[in-house]
Every structure is written in C-alpha cells, then in structure tokens.
C-alpha cells in the first residue's frame, strides 16, 4: 500500500513539472498574474479539484516563491478573487498569494 502512495506521489510530481515546463516553454506561464501557495502538497492537490471554470492551472510551486517542494496555482487577474473565495468555501487553506512583478513573484499582504 505504501508503495502505491509513493508511486502516485512521484507520478503527480512528474505531471506537475511537465505542465510547468510546457507553460514556460510555450510562453503561457507569463500570462498568469498570480500564484496561490498552500500549506502542504496534499492541500494544493486538493485545490486542483476546484479549478474547473477558472483561468487557472496547477504547477509545482515556483522557485521564485519557495525553493522546496509544494504545489502552486497560477491564476489570471480576472479570476483571482472568485477562485480564492471558491477555495475558501470548499475548505482549502492557502498559505500565501503572490503577484507577478516582471519575471518574479512578490507576496501580496
């Protein structure tokens, strides 16, 4: 059972990194204005379930935000507030909101 969880975790990491590589390579990464960070990887993966209908995509947390492991949600300006409210309504806790400033992200306080 533990092996299945480990394999699932690895597969999820690969999926998220491939998505990020595609977004960066295609130039689409720059089109997202904000990144939402989460307290844990499971919380970030839980948030993925609620992205349908939003201009948002899950990725590994960018190194500009945190040089470690984590899940981030890139979201466009027009969907940010609505998505944050939707996540809150569904019991998803966020650890931070970061706004794109040039090529990096800065925390919104």
Taking the model in full, what pTM does it have? Answer: 0.88
Name the domain count of the chain: 1
Q: Which two tokens stand for residue 38?
A: 């989460």
* For range 53-78, the mean pLDDT: 90
Considering only CA atoms, which of 53, 56, 50 is closest in space to residue 28?
A: 56
Q: Is 23 exposed, middle or buried (0-12, 13-18, 19+ CB in 10 A)?
A: middle
The domain of 57 spans: 2-107
Contact 39, 71 (CB under 8 A): no
The pLDDT value given to residue 84: 97
Question: Which 3 state secondary structure label does DSSP give 1?
Answer: coil
Instruction: Indicate the pLDDT class of residue 7, thresholds 50, 70 and 90.
Output: confident
Q: What is the CATH number of the domain that holds 52?
A: 3.30.70
| Mean pLDDT to the nearest integer, 13-30 | 90
Q: Given pLDDT bands bounded at 50, 70 and 90, which one contains residue 11?
A: confident
**Higher local confidence (pLDDT), 4 or 62:** 62
Chain segment 23-59, per-residue pLDDT in tens: 989 999 999 999 999 999 899 999 999 999 999 999 9
């Amino acid at each position: 059972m533990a092996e299945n969880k480990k394999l699932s975790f690895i597969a999820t990491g690969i999926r998220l990194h491939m998505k990020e590589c595609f977004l960066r390579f295609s130039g689409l990464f720059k089109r997202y204005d904000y990144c939402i960070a989460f307290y844990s990887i499971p919380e970030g993966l839980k948030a993925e379930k609620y992205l349908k209908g939003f201009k948002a995509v899950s990725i590994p947390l960018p190194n500009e935000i945190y040089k470690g492991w984590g899940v981030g949600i890139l979201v466009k300006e027009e969907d940010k507030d609505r998505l944050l409210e939707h996540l809150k309504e569904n019991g998803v806790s966020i650890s931070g909101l970061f706004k794109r400033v040039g090529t990096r992200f800065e925390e919104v306080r």
